[in-house]
Amino acid sequence: MPKPVIFTIDDDPSVLNSVERDLRAQYGQDYRILPINAGKIALEYLQKLEQRNETVALFLVDQRMPEMSGVEFLMEAIKVYPQAKRILLTAYADTQAAIDSINEIRLDYYLMKPWHPPEERLYPVLDELLEDWKMRVHLPYDGIRVAGTLWSLASHQVKDFLTRHQIPYQWLDIEKDPNAQKLVEGVTSEIKLPVIFFPDGKVLIEPDLKELANKVGLQTRAELPFYDIVIIGSGPAGLAAAVYAGSEGYKCLVIERAAPGGQAGSSPKIENYLGFPAGISGDDLTRRAVSQAKRFGVEILSAQEASQVEVKDAYRIVKLNDGTEISCHAVLMATGASFHTLKMPGADALTGAGIYYGAAYTEAMNYKDKDVFVVGGANSAAQGALYLSRFARKVTVLIRGPEMTASKYLVDAINVNAKIEILSNTDLIEVQGAHTLEQIVIKNTKRNEVQTCAAAAMFVFIGVQPQSKIVSDLVMCSGKGYIFAGPDLMVDKKPPQGWTLERDPFLLETSVPGIFAAGDVRYGTSHRVASAVGEGAIAFALMKEYLKAL
Ligand SMILES: Cc1cc2nc3c(=O)[nH]c(=O)nc-3n(C[C@H](O)[C@H](O)[C@H](O)COP(=O)(O)OP(=O)(O)OC[C@H]3O[C@@H](n4cnc5c(N)ncnc54)[C@H](O)[C@@H]3O)c2cc1C
């Protein structure tokens, strides 16, 4: 946290030097002394201080200055720093102006020039005022501040990215907070959101995630041109494989298009993972796994999407969206699955503006005391509903079938939660809203009744699809896109067509030697954290066999 500022303004250089010297001698250790020679320049400087979220403790301002008097300056300055203490430096002739301004700008004190000796005439006054300021001031948040609106998708994506990377930030809603609005107007006149203010004074306006990742110090570039193993995806499967690969000294790179943790990272509480009887949140599990992998020397790239995998003799080449190519011997596809999106008019436009896919964690706080909806009846939807009920006034869960399909412990918890209502046999048929979600139209398919409901937000958890597109032309996949591996590739006990090795594919090896699959992207997986972790660990053991035979 930077030191609070004592601002002193005087157009007479000799007076300014002398005030500065006296202030620095007494307060320099705890405060930053800022001497400025004109009111207008000082106002510009104040804006910069505000953008950097620095705080001003006290203004010590000469009354008689050309262009802008001390009182005129203070009238503007206290709009920006209303808590700062105000002292006017006056000559005898200006006493009346000082007295008049006591009410006008709630002047704390007026000090007659000359103020010497400062030990008698300056410091006692300032000591008292600064003590009082310290007692009352709410020190500003000194971390990253994200200013935006609830209806801006990019604002949601930035918040989600920071949350998923466990990087603390303060959210400033410019529609609710006039100071935040002013702060944004101070750096851009365009309607580009979010605007991100960093403690070092740097500002990013609607950045892409890679730019943001670089700014917050995340790794986005591979350090080496070649790795033994490249893992695409950093959910539980990818991170488990990475921990084992790193622990055994293999050069291993993990590529992640968003943030580590995958779907599990968005779970408020995983209660069925072995060894955590009270449950563990997805971000806690992720934080532990990421530190474990990094401790073993694994590199993890954030905000980098793999776009293609190619085979060149014994090498496997992974291409990234930014054109980078990374070469390795073995690739693990641990790209998991992502939620289906709603296919209905208006849904795309309202995504991130009231409609969220599995993002209960990031946005729940914004819907305190509001009525929200959850779509879906499986485990992830049930967890989302329970988490949201801690903030929302009411959570209505829409399910197509007669009952929820979530695990018993989750259904039991929902049944005793007074804030959650389940609407079964219910189809979502329309979403409505100008800038943000306002209403949804639902239909009870048993009674054939259509109903319009006010909705502040809707969190959608309607089944997942495997993220295998980047290899769908290279390896064999099921009709739904799940990657076949090991025994699932065998037909009449024979390996698939085009298989070049004498041995059969390993248990988690795809139809291309050296390319493996684990977790939710693999055909036949059980969509559980523990299975993904187990498969990741086994995949590494098999990749090790593969590397040994090269
Ligand atoms: C809200 C929620 C709650 C859940 N709760 C539980 C629970 O309590 N218990 C339980 O056992 N299971 C739970 N699950 C299921 C569990 O989280 C998944 O089965 C598990 O995360 C699958 O792990 P994975 O590593 O295979 O894939 P994922 O977790 O899906 O991770 C895949 C990763 O790959 C990345 N990726 C994809 N494509 C690319 C690309 N081209 N380039 C770079 N990166 C890419 C993705 O961004 C993602 O981070 C829950 C799921 C959700 C959504």
With bands split at pLDDT 50, 70 and 90, how would you rate the model's confidence at 349? Answer: very high
Q: What is the pLDDT of residue 277?
A: 84
Element housing 106 (H / E): none
Residues framing ligand 1 (Cβ under 6 A): 232-238, 255-258, 262-264, 266-267, 270-272, 305-306, 334-337, 358, 379-380, 383, 467, 470, 519-520, 527-530, 532
What is the DSSP track for 525-539? Answer: ----HHHHHHHHHHH
Question: What pLDDT is recorded for position 150?
Answer: 87
- φ and ψ at 207, to 5 degrees? -75, 160
Q: What is the mean pLDDT of residues 166-193?
A: 90
Ligand 1 atom nearest to CA at 519? 26
If you average pLDDT over residues 363-377, what whole number do you get?
93
Q: Which strand (E) or helix (H) includes residue 142?
A: none
Tens of pLDDT, residue by residue over 389-444, are 999 999 999 999 999 999 999 999 999 999 999 999 999 999 999 989 999 999 99
**132: pLDDT confidence band, cut at 50, 70 and 90?**
confident
Which of 335, 339, 525, 538 best tests ligand 1's pocket when mutated (most atoms within 8 Å of CB)? 335
Atom of ligand 1 nearest to the CA of 279: 8
Q: Which residues contact 217 (CB under 8 A, 6 or more apart)?
A: none
Q: What is the pLDDT of residues 518-546, one digit of tens each?
A: 999 999 999 999 999 999 999 999 999 99
Distance, C-alpha 44 to centroid of its chain: 31
Question: Which residue has the CA at smallest separation from atom 49 of ligand 1?
Answer: 262
Neighbours of 212 (CB within 10 A): 24
- Rounded mean pLDDT, 79-84: 91
**Looking at the whole model, is its pTM more than 0.85?**
no
Q: What's the rounded Cα separation, in Å, for the pair 516 and 528?
A: 19
Helices (H), 416-517: none
| Band (6; pLDDT cuts 50, 70, 90) | very high
Q: How confident is the model at residue 114 (pLDDT cuts 50, 70, 90)?
A: confident
Residue 382 pLDDT greater than 90, yes or no:
yes
CB atoms within 10 A of CB 341: 14
Higher pLDDT, 364 or 427: 427
Place of tokens 């187990």: 534
Backbone angles phi, psi at 95, to 5 degrees: -55, -40
Q: What percent of the chain has a predicted confidence (pLDDT) above 70?
A: 99
Atom of ligand 1 nearest to the CA of 360: 1
Residue 172 predicted with pLDDT over 90? yes
Identity of the amino acid at 458: M
Please give the single-letter amino acid code of residue 95.
Answer: T
Q: Of 128, 13, 3, 107, which Cα lies nearest the Cα of 60?
A: 107
How far is ligand 1, taken at its centre, from the CA of residue 335, in Å?
8
49-53, 143-147, 235-239: which has the minimum mean pLDDT? 49-53
Which residues are paired to 254 by β-bridges? 231, 300
Average pLDDT, the chain: 94
Residues pairing with 375 in the sheet: 398, 460
Residue 279: predicted pLDDT: 87
The pLDDT tens digits for 213-249 are 999 999 999 999 999 999 999 999 999 999 999 999 9
- Strand locations in 268-390 (E): 299-301, 306-312, 315-320, 325-333, 337-339, 355-357, 371-375
Percentage of residues in the chain having pLDDT higher than 90: 81
* Residue 177 banded pLDDT, cuts 50, 70, 90: very high
Residue to substitute in 239, 267, 321, 332 for testing ligand 1 pocket (most ligand atoms within 8 angstroms of CB): 267
- Give DSSP secondary structure letters for 25-90: HHHTTTSEEEEES-HHHHHHHHHHHHHTT--EEEEEEES--SSS-HHHHHHHHHHH-TTSEEEEEE
